[in-house]
């Protein structure tokens, strides 16, 4: 006997509307991304990550004073509790930074006085602490693994500059500061992507914010989502020089392998974030020993567009931007997480504000009414 069902399964939930939101809108047909109604191209020049976070969290662009206060609150929350630093020291060097980040967030929840309180005030306090602590976890882990002393955040630097400063130990140049801040702005939110959906599902059970962020990090880690940026850099390093590109890409396409950093569930044209990251990739690599990585990327882009008709997504040029900023490839996805935490938190708050348990159903393909055989009678 089988179950009688008239259910239609939409694989990968493509096109299914599972939530209402006013945080961001991905216009896949025209290749536009809006944060609270503003086109991300408007943030290309003078906006800072701190402004974008406040926009995502409150719905409005902040004024100068609000931004200064918000930024200094975040920077003063950047230091990690000693227990978390100790935990980072205990992780085996072979463990992936995304796995360590996920574990560190769990550890933070164990010592956060608001951990299990899901009231609005408590969630607002946790939101700021989490946004501040994620970049420090990444920077401290990198320095611990390189036997380098830990660096305290500098109150004169903004969030993204502090991250690079704590990671590398020296203040970044103006171009590097701008590139890092744009990178974080462009990764801040993106509709109901897999990790944001995960965060909303966990929130819908009235679970706590740390759990929702841990779940989101788990979803982001996969190579079909945020984990793609690390794979892009590994591919570029493997290709090594411009002359090898054509044969390498042809081989991948022939073997039906996916080219990381290309294709998208929603965009049918170029991902608007790729446009800005391409510019920063070129600027940062120009005239340095990284120049060939930009040139290799550009050539891959042209071949894949021509052969497959698919375009680079956010992860393609973010790889060379991050590499040029001195970030090791295995840390790339953690930077995505540090930026997307802004969006995850906005969605978590939106879900709490108008919650109903997210609990879809499935089409059962198994058997029914099987005859049970007691243990002693089974051969």
DSSP label of 45: S
d(CA 174, CA 157): 12
Nearer to ligand COA, 274 or 327 (CB): 274
**CA count, 13 A, side-chain hemisphere, 362:** 4
Nearest to 170 by CA among 332, 333, 325: 325
Nearer to ligand COA, 150 or 310 (CB): 310
Query: Could you tell me which residues are beta bridge partners of residue 312?
Result: 262
Nearer to ligand COA, 12 or 59 (CB): 12
CB 75 within 8 A of CB 165: no
Nearest to 52 by CA among 26, 23, 72: 23
CB 153 within 8 A of CB 310: no
Closest CB to ligand COA: residue number: 263
Nearer to ligand COA, 67 or 322 (CB): 322
CB of 311 to ligand COA, least distance (A): 10
CB 70 within 8 A of CB 54: yes
CB of 23 to ligand COA, least distance (A): 18
CB of 43 to ligand COA, least distance (A): 19
Q: Which residues bind ligand COA (CB under 6 A)?
A: 12, 224-225, 228, 258-265, 308, 310, 313-315
Evaluate the CA torsion angle 59, 64, 67, 73 in order and state its sign.
Answer: negative
CB of 217 to ligand COA, least distance (A): 16
d(CA 358, CA 202): 9
d(CA 344, CA 330): 22
Active site residue 264: yes
Please give the structure tokens belonging to residue 79.
């230091």
CB of 66 to ligand COA, least distance (A): 32
Evaluate the CA torsion angle 230, 234, 236, 237 in order and state its sign.
Answer: positive
Nearer to ligand COA, 165 or 262 (CB): 262
d(CA 165, CA 152): 9
Nearer to ligand COA, 169 or 263 (CB): 263
Selecting among 187, 225, 264, 276, the annotated active-site residue is 264
CB 136 within 8 A of CB 166: yes
CB of 304 to ligand COA, least distance (A): 7
Nearer to ligand COA, 60 or 307 (CB): 307
Query: If you count them, how many residues does the chain have?
Result: 379
CB 205 within 8 A of CB 308: no
Selecting among 112, 140, 189, 315, the annotated active-site residue is 315
CB of 237 to ligand COA, least distance (A): 17
Torsions phi, psi for 186 (to 5 deg)? -70, -20
Report, as residue numbers or ranges, the catalytic residues. Answer: 264, 315
């Amino acid at each position: 006997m089988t179950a009688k069902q008239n259910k239609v399964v939409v694989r990968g939930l493509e096109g299914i509307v599972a939530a209402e939101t006013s945080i961001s809108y991905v216009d896949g047909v025209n290749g536009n991304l809006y944060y609270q109604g503003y086109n991300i191209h408007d943030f290309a020049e003078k906006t800072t990550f701190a402004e974008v976070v406040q926009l995502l969290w409150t719905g409005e662009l902040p004024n100068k004073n609000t931004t200064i206060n918000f930024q200094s609150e975040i920077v003063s929350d950047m230091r990690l509790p000693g227990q978390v630093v100790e935990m980072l020291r205990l992780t085996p060097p072979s463990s992936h930074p995304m796995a360590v980040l996920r574990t560190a967030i769990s550890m933070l929840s164990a010592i956060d006085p608001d951990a299990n309180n899901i009231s609005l005030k408590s969630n607002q306090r946790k939101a700021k602490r989490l946004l501040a602590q994620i970049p420090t976890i990444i920077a401290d882990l990198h320095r611990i693994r390189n036997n380098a002393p830990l660096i305290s955040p500098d109150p004169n630097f903004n969030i993204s500059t502090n991250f690079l400063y704590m990671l590398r130990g020296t203040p970044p140049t103006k171009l590097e500061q701008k590139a890092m801040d744009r990178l974080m702005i462009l990764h801040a939110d993106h509709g109901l992507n897999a990790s944001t959906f995960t965060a909303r599902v966990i929130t819908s059970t009235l679970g706590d914010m740390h759990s929702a962020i841990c779940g989101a990090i788990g979803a982001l880690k996969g190579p079909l989502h945020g984990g793609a940026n690390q794979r892009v850099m590994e591919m570029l390093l493997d290709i090594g020089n411009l002359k090898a590109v054509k044969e390498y890409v042809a081989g991948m396409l022939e073997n039906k392998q996916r080219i990381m950093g290309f294709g998208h569930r929603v965009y049918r044209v170029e991902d608007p974030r790729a446009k800005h990251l391409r510019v920063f990739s070129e600027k940062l690599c120009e005239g340095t020993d990284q120049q060939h990585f930009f040139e290799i990327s550009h050539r891959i882009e042209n071949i894949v567009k021509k052969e497959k008709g698919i375009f680079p997504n956010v992860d393609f040029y973010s790889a060379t931007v991050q590499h040029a900023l001195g970030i090791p490839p295995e840390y790339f996805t953690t930077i995505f997480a540090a930026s997307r935490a802004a969006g995850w938190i906005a969605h978590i708050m939106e879900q709490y504000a108008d919650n109903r348990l997210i609990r879809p159903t499935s089409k059962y393909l198994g058997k029914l009414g099987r005859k049970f055989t007691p243990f002693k009678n089974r051969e």
